[in-house]
Amino acid sequence: MNWIRQALHRVKNKDSSPAGRTTAILANEGLLSAVMLIFATSYTSMFALRIGATDQQVGLISSLPQLFALLVMIPGALLASRLSDRRRPVEISLLLAGFIYGLAGFSPYLGDVRVWYFIGLISLANAPVALYTTSWQNYFSDIIPAEQRNAVYTRRTSRTFIASVITVQAIGLILGGARTDTIRITLYQCCYWLAFAVSLLQCLVLRRAPSCVRETARITWRDFGQALRVLAHSRRFLAFAFISFILHAGWYMAWPLFTLIQVRYIGADETWLSLVALANYLVPWLTMPFWSKFIEKHGIRFTLVIGCLGMIISPITTLIDAYLPPAWMLPALVFTNCIYGLTFGAFQLTILQCLLEVVPLQNKPLNLSLYTAGILLTNAVLPTLGVQLYAALGSDLRGMTLAMTVSILLRTIGTVLFFCRWLRLRREPDSGMRA
């Protein structure tokens, strides 16, 4: 037992310093953020199907939230610039998101308009979620030096994964044990109300993190044009953003397709979907320490390439699962998601760090918002295109296979381009490598 006490003593001493306390607070805040989003988003499509959504409406659930976020991203960044404390926009956006998710829980009470009410509120809530993401990235990059980001971000991401594992599994088991759809719908409602409650707790934890007050000039629409010109002359940022958009296009177009293939062709219910989610979160959490050390040795750019390879594997293995004998489909779905999870931690740890490595520092909050706006535009368009392509190809397993193949090709192109980027920059300093 002595080694346990010694380990706990080291952790306590590590967290007693100002840097250690900040790391611990950000990790706990990330844990609560994951719990809130799991409650609010993990079973969105299934909830919509339970209350009567069509395939096209399921596609809208994947695309409309991104469109709403896109519409408010730049105005939100301009408004956030008026706040001198970089932490304040993070707090405001997460509270607003939690409140809207709480309202979404009342959807089943609204009769014939319940599906559109639900889609509207889920879409609206994603606007403050997107603002939370960009404002948190800006806040994180301001309070954590570049050489410490990998360690801090690894700890936070590790907490988010383990929180996701426990939350998804608990929700899935509870939903799977429900005897009727009426009970399931009530449980879904409770998830959205709990999301609001967790957002309040998350804000309280975040307020313990250090403030970051910057006496900077307010960003105006004139600065928006200047930021575009600065980005246009930043070749490294443009190259990264272009490749990232291609990869995310292949990723996002398959989101609603994964739901349809898992439910319609493989036969997954809430219990099996929770097991799939468990694999998606547990395996990356277990591999997180390995990838953190791998980054310190090989850098963030090479590790990102490995993470992208897993993005190619995921749709391929899911398609294979759909062609297996019925008795094998569901166990194989869980197993293949475990394989995908082996590299997902590498992607999660590096994509943000690679962005922060190349984003111009002049008007950085606005630059991050412009990049996020591009990603959101991709996310607003591609899921609907994926469903429409699937419908145009016959809305059957053959059509699903062809639609997924397009996603695989886009992911492959993005991965190859990231590999070429690594080859070109491999001799340059890497912010993730430890000297």
Tokens of 15: 């967290």
Question: Quick check: helix, strand or coil at residue 85?
Answer: strand
Phi and psi, residue 213, nearest 5°: -90, 120
DSSP 3-state percent helix, strand, coil across the chain (nearest 5): 85, 0, 15
pLDDT value of position 11: 42
Q: What amino acid occupies position 277?
A: A
Residue 19: the pLDDT is 72
Domains within the chain, CATH numbers bracketed: 18-206+220-425 (1.20.1250.20)
The three-state secondary structure class of 213 is strand
Note the pLDDT of residue 215.
57
Compute the distance between CA of residue 241 and CA of residue 287 in angstroms, rounded to an integer. 27
Residues 6+ apart with CB under 8 A from 243: 414, 417, 418, 421
Q: How far is CA 368 from CA 71, 76, 157, 241, 345, in A?
A: 15, 12, 20, 11, 22
Give the residue among 386, 422, 158 at the shortest CA–CA distance from 308: 422
Judge contact between 318 and 404, C-beta under 8 A: yes
What local confidence, expressed as pLDDT, does residue 55 receive?
A: 75
CA–CA separation, 237 and 362 (whole Å): 13
- What is the predicted pLDDT for the residue at 133? 86
Cβ atoms < 10 Å from Cβ of 218: 11
C-alpha span between 141 and 131 (Å, rounded): 15
pLDDT along the chain (435 residues), means of 10: 44 59 87 91 83 80 80 76 76 93 92 90 91 85 78 85 82 80 88 94 88 62 72 88 94 88 87 82 87 90 94 93 91 91 90 88 78 84 88 90 95 96 87 67
| Residue of 129, 42, 64, 12 whose CA lies nearest to 381 | 64
pLDDT of 7 reads 40
How far is Cα of residue 176 from the mean position of the Cα atoms in its chain? 25
Which two three-digit tokens encode residue 363? 């008007």
Distance CA 282, CA 273 (A): 14
Residues near 269 by Cβ (< 8 Å), separated by ≥ 6?
176, 263
Paired tokens of 180:
């009727």
Q: Check if the beta carbon of residue 133 is closer than 8 Å to that of residue 372.
A: yes
* Cβ atoms of 119 and 48 closer than 8 Å: yes
Q: What pLDDT, on a 0 to 100 scale, did the predictor assign at position 15? A: 55
114: which 2 tokens?
Answer: 């319940």
> Residue 186 contacts by C-beta under 8 Å, 6 or more apart in sequence?
none
